[in-house]
Amino acid sequence: MAGLNKVVASYDEALAGLTNDMTVMVGGFGLCGIPEGLIAQMVKTGVTGLTAISNNAGVDDFGLGLLLKSRQIDTMIASYVGENATFEQQMLSGELNVILTPQGTLAEKIRAGGAGIPAFFTATGYGTPVAEGKETREIDGRHYVLEPALTADFALVRAWKADTMGNLVFRKTAANFNPMMATAGKVTVVEAEHIVEPGELDPDHIHTPGIYVDRVIQGKFEKRIEQRTVKSTTDKA
């Protein structure tokens, strides 16, 4: 690594410094936009006691589901656990500590974390179990819950294109949580589908400026589809 060239050559290098009991953010919505190779590398390192922050937990045999299966995650912060039987079973047995967080609140907690805002008030979850034990306040006649920001030791992000300086472009709905997470990691590692030279990305079209990014690795993606729906089944949606 030299200067602002953030490209690393191996997954070992990409996750160097990841140790037991760390907090890791992982981008993606379902299996869409997940950093597949970085997740596989986490399994390989064998680190345990992780706190994982991710909207979902993948499925049983792909995505973050792999780390649940290998019992490397202690605590999971997510909004939805529906598609993963291992997750549901570990949560019900109490083996896994799960902090269910409303999706928009989760996104904003991460955005706030990256932007240096320690907490914010939101109406989301007021009067529900999510607000239990949290400070509330009435502002202009409406009730709000104080939600603390989230940051992580590592943020694992998937991008469509990255230049070697870490400027990122996401593609379609594979962006999801990736842009915010890129800003909220002490070490942000980007697994990109394509790595290009500085100047090849139009500065007007960059979604995440390179200042947030520490390492970039060329990924190889299976891009598994969770629910393959095509036109002929439209009426059964």
Partner 1 sequence: MALSREQLAQRVAQELQDGFYVNLGIGIPTLVANYIPEGMQVMLQSENGLLGMGEFPTEETIDADLINAGKQTVTAVDGASFFSSAESFAMIRGGHVDLTVLGAFEVDEQGSIASWMIPGKLIKGMGGAMDLVAGADNIIVTMMHADKKGNSKLLPKCELPLTGFGCIKRVLTDLAFMEIKDGAFHLLERAPGVSVEEIVEKTAGKLVVPEHVPEMTF
Q: Which residues bind partner 1 (CB under 8 A)?
A: 29-33, 55, 78-83, 88, 91-92, 100, 102-108, 110-111, 122-130, 160, 170-180, 207, 223-231, 233-235, 237
Angstrom CA distances, 160 to 34, 96, 97, stand at 11, 32, 32
Closer by beta carbon to partner 1, 17 or else 82: 82
Closer by beta carbon to partner 1, 111 or else 215: 111
Closer by beta carbon to partner 1, 19 or else 229: 229
Least CB distance to partner 1 at residue 33 (A): 7
- From the CB of residue 229, how many other CB atoms can be counted at a distance below 10 Å? 10
Least CB distance to partner 1 at residue 161 (A): 12
Least CB distance to partner 1 at residue 39 (A): 16
- The token duo for 171 is 């593609």
Closer by beta carbon to partner 1, 69 or else 207: 207
81: CB partners within 8 A, 6+ apart = 56, 57, 87, 88, 91, 98, 100
- From the CB of residue 203, how many other CB atoms can be counted at a distance below 10 Å? 8
CA-based radius of gyration for the chain: 18
Least CB distance to partner 1 at residue 43 (A): 21
